[in-house]
Amino acid sequence: MQAEFGFRELAHTADWELEVWAPDLPTLLEQAALGMYTISGVQLEPGENQTRKIILRAADAESLLVQFLSELLWIEQDQNLAFVRISVTVDDDYNLNADLSGSSIVKMDKEIKAVTYHNLQVQALSAGLRVNIVFDV
Amino acid sequence: MVTLQDLKHISDYEWEIPKTYRPDMRVPVRLFATRRLLEDVMKDKSLEQAVNAATLPGLVGHVIVMPDMHQGYGFPIGGVAATRLPDGVISPGGIGYDINCGVRLLGSQIGYEAALPHLDDLATALNHYCPSGVGEGGSVHTTEAELIAVCRQGSRWALKQGFASEADLRRTEESGCVEGANPDKVSVRARQRGRPQLGSLGAGNHFVEIDLVEQIFDLQAASVMGLEEGTLAVQIHCGSRGFGHQICTDYVEEFQAAVKRYNIHLVDRELVCAPLNSPEGQDYLGAMRCAANYAFANRQILAHSARKAFEQVLAGKIKNWHLHQVYDICHNMGKIETHIIDGEQMQVCVHRKGATRAFGPGTPELPEEYRSIGQPVLVPGSMGTASWVLVGTAASMELSFGSTCHGSGRLMSRHEAKRNVRGEKLRQDLEAAGIHIRAGSMAGLAEEAPQAYKDVDQVVDAVVGGGIARKVARLHPLVVIKG
């Protein structure tokens, strides 16, 4: 039986595709972030000694997902930081607040160039939400 | 899902998905491929993506797909699409995140036998001078003012800094500088990412390679390029690094709203676009050209670094160790060009995403020495396999907006490659075959394994059979540096 939330890598000829599922949008965003770090092979310094806050507003769930993950990629590349504890809230107008806790990156296997909108659709299923995200690598 | 039965057979190397295949197609899709290559392509979503691309407003002629095609995001890799000026659209996703990713080829008079004892030292020196790998900075850190100059001047900036010669610039597509770059349209984030990365390879499928010119197919063209059988050549494959990635990310996001403003219906949001004559379209063009110029300067600095490596290892040991520029081409670009479409001469924006410009003989855009032979086309194979030097043809101008293939094209997903190939074993196998490897990551090496790609010889045979390129030389790898 599949867990209530999670992520898994799918085969894609050139790039990376991640399937993410969760009972609600905030959890879907948190799982997508953790999935992105996992497929990049991010390894962090021990201890959560860095915190950040992200505030975003988007037109829809898909845009919010791309913007949120792109924001994390920006922090990763600009400040060499990634996060293990991610707490997200989203209101009905797609206003996002995220509290992040993590540390400096000591090693990363693969660089993600961008989060794409390719066939991106947050689907509402009986068990919650599901989305497939393609990353350009 | 497109099947073989949906395709119209034009010739052994040309196929068409007619406009009637789907009601929202504005133009047909023309494929250059053998039946065997097409059967491989049917395993992923390349053709479906080509059909999606054929729905964009303002398209003319056909959407063209090359035999190295494979599934991408939005457009397929290996796709070419032309939109008419002034009101056709420009699509950032149809150019890609790595704006002006491309290949540079340097030739030499260094004989293989003389170089053989020095290949391992050359590999070490190239690895030292050409920074590569995930998160690696470049050899040149620029100030804000210098970055703006790079955006406007491309390789001309590199020339002023002593990283280039006039001959290098002449033998670069667009002479290494696309006019119309507008740094004001580049975000602060993109500039921040671009400043520390100039002169770096990056990771993924980017590389520096020393090759042996193994076989010449067109003696006259090879002679004009300064390529001689049995000598060494150097290939550099990379693009605009985080600078280009950020510019594309910014505009794909901004265009999500633009498509609503211009009432453009999309089948895939990664195909977002804006009319070329709209403020949004003009802003993206100005920013994209900054990234294009950054990439030209980046490959120029890497060429300078390769020359330093050759000097360090070979000076005093080999008589003529110099590296001369053969050509530098882009394979992820949007260019305003003039083409004849259905008998009418028109200005179009040619999107090439994983496709190389391949202008035929006599084209005024080519440097004088190449006007008689056509534009050199550089087609790197997968790691450990052959690469090709081709030239554009008169037919490529008529059939494919002066374009041809850009590489061998992936066959296997990265996931599958990692599952089937051990990086360390692959490195040992390549070393046993006489190929010196320097790689930042064994997992990255496994993803780029030769078996994950199509056979580059088959791809080249398909474009040559289709008439959109001509063979000049085949290169065999001796040293591979990967991030």
Instruction: Please give the average per-residue pLDDT across B252-275, as a whole number.
Output: 97
- What CA–CA distance (Å, rounded) separates B63 from B400? 9
Which of A117, A131, A135 is best to mutate for the B interface (most B CBs within 10 A)? A117
pLDDT in tens, B413-426: 887 887 888 888 89
Q: Which residues pair with B476 in a beta bridge?
A: B212
Residues of A in contact with B192 (CB under 8 A): 78
pLDDT in tens, B2-35: 999 999 999 999 999 999 999 999 999 999 999 9
**Confidence check on the interface: ipTM exceeds 0.90, yes or no:** yes
Tokens encoding B167:
């001959």
* Largest Cα–Cα separation, chain B: 67
Q: Which distant-in-sequence residues (6+ apart) come within 8 Å of B335 by Cβ?
A: B178, B349, B350, B352, B357
Closest CA to A84 of A102, A61, A63, A57: A102
Pairing verdict, β B75-84 and B89-90: unpaired
How far does CA B263 lie from the centroid of its chain? Answer: 32
Distance from CA of B77 to the nearest CA of A (A): 9
For residue B134, the chain A residue with the least C-alpha distance is A111
Q: Where are the beta strands (DSSP E) in B342-469?
A: 344-353, 356-357, 376-379, 387-391, 403-404, 436-439
Distance from CA of A131 to the nearest CA of B (A): 14
Backbone angles phi, psi at B187, to 5 degrees: -70, 160
Q: Which of B44, B70, B270 sits opposite A117 (nearest CB)?
A: B270
CB atoms within 10 A of CB B113: 8
**Structure-token match 């457009």, residue found:** B75
Distance from CA of B242 to the nearest CA of A (A): 7
With the C-alpha atoms ordered B183, B186, B189, B190, is the resulting torsion angle positive or negative?
Answer: negative
Instruction: Report pLDDT for B448.
Output: 84
pLDDT in tens, B81-93: 999 999 999 999 9
Average predicted confidence (pLDDT) for chain B: 95
Alpha helices in B269-403 (DSSP H): 279-314, 394-399
Confidence of residue B441 (pLDDT cuts 50, 70, 90): confident
Tokens encoding A120:
């991106």
Omega of the bond prior to B367 within 30 degrees of 0, cis? no
How far does CA B148 lie from the centroid of its chain? Answer: 24
* Total-model pTM: 0.96
Instruction: Please give the average per-residue pLDDT across B305-315, as a whole number.
Output: 98
pLDDT in tens, B164-185: 999 999 999 999 999 999 999 9
Distances (CA, A) of A6 to A15, A27, B153, B430, B478: 20, 9, 47, 38, 44
Q: Report yes or no: B255 and B56 within 8 Å, Cβ to Cβ.
A: no
The single-letter code of the amino acid at A115 is V
Residues of B in contact with A134 (CB under 8 A): 73
Tokens encoding B426:
């692959």
pLDDT in tens, B199-245: 999 888 899 999 999 999 999 999 999 999 999 999 999 999 999 99
- What CA–CA distance (Å, rounded) separates B182 from B162? 24
- Between positions 120 and 159 of B, the ones with CB within 8 A of A are 134-135
Please report how many Cα atoms fall inside a 13 Å half-sphere around the Cα of residue B436, on the Cβ side: 19
Catalytic residues of B, which ones? 406
Low-confidence residues of chain A: pLDDT under 50: none
- What CA–CA distance (Å, rounded) separates B482 from A60? 39
Span of B57-61, B435-439, B447-451, B455-459 with lowest mean pLDDT: B447-451
**Structure-token match 């398909």, residue found:** B462
pLDDT in tens, B449-475: 888 899 999 999 999 999 999 999 999
Cβ–Cβ gap A13/B44 under 8 Å? yes
Instruction: Report pLDDT for A1.
Output: 60
Instruction: Report pLDDT for B192.
Output: 96
